[in-house]
Amino acid sequence: MFDLTSTAARPEAPAGVAATGGPPLGAALERCMPWLTAVLDEIDYGLVLLDADTHVVHLNQAARVELDGAHPLLRHDRKVRARRAQDEAPLADALGAARRGLRCMLSLGDARHRANVAVVPLAGPQGAGTATLLMLGKREVCETLSVQGFARCHRLTGAETRVLLELCRGTPPGEIANELGVAVSTVRTQIGNVRLKTGAASIRALVHQVAVLPPLVSVLRHAADALQGRPS
């Protein structure tokens, strides 16, 4: 764990709210809450909001999925706790630092399930206590659903999509060929086809295109649910 910055700035009221005689900020935020919740669910980073007593106030969709899996953090009795005993003290120290207005970065878990977590203090409107935001780092540069959405957009074949997935995981063409049971020349041809369809000048540029995609969480989640026969 290491300290990143000092105290977070206190947020200002939106233009036209309260400062100009409009409705109080709390009322405006209450009306916006359904949309704000939907916005948070579109973000493909897990976000966990804790109150001043470190109780969980809200988790977005990505955080619910992450914390129900093998993530080094887990939910227990309205709290977020470390899955491993050796991570408990660093997590407690980071949450304590957040209450003092300090941002921290944690690296939790073992070699197999390693995850980075940013711990960010949030100063509320005057009179409100300080909350804490946990931002869960991605464990893959390019999420599988994002790659699949990108592949559909560019009309890649199933074989080209599998090759793209492996490239985004950093797998060399030779290993991709072994994994898929094809010749290296076949993989190189498929890479060339993918580059042609996407306009990428190199494999690095191709992976970069996928890595900087905007969140496609809800659309792709619904598509995945439909494929598996689950209600969306």
The stretch 63-79 carries a mean pLDDT of 87
Token pair listed for 231:
């209600």
What are the backbone angles phi and psi of residue 202, rounded to the nearest 5°?
A: -160, 170
The stretch 166-194 carries a mean pLDDT of 95
- The 3-state secondary structure of 137-150 reads CCCCCCCHHHHHHH
pLDDT of 77 strictly over 80 = yes
73 burial level (CB within 10 Å; 0-12, 13-18, 19+): buried
- Which domains are seen in the chain, by residue range? 2-136 (3.30.450.20), 144-227 (1.10.10.10)
DSSP, collapsed to helix, strand or coil, labels residue 132 as strand
Q: What is the DSSP letter of 69?
A: T
Residue 27 pLDDT = 75
Per-residue pLDDT reduced to its tens digit, 125-136:
665 568 999 999
Q: How confident is the model at residue 6 (pLDDT cuts 50, 70, 90)?
A: very low
pLDDT of 182 strictly over 60 = yes
Angle at 160 between CA 159 and CA 166, to 5 degrees: 95
What are the backbone angles phi and psi of residue 104, rounded to the nearest 5°?
A: -140, 160
Q: How confident is the model at residue 70 (pLDDT cuts 50, 70, 90)?
A: confident
Q: What is the DSSP letter of 86?
A: G
Give CA torsion, residues 55, 5, 37, 96, to 10 deg. Answer: 0
Per-residue pLDDT reduced to its tens digit, 134-164:
999 876 667 777 788 899 999 999 999 999 9
| Between 107 and 142, the higher pLDDT residue | 107
pLDDT of 101 strictly over 80 = yes
Mean predicted lDDT score pLDDT of the chain: 81
Q: How confident is the model at residue 216 (pLDDT cuts 50, 70, 90)?
A: low
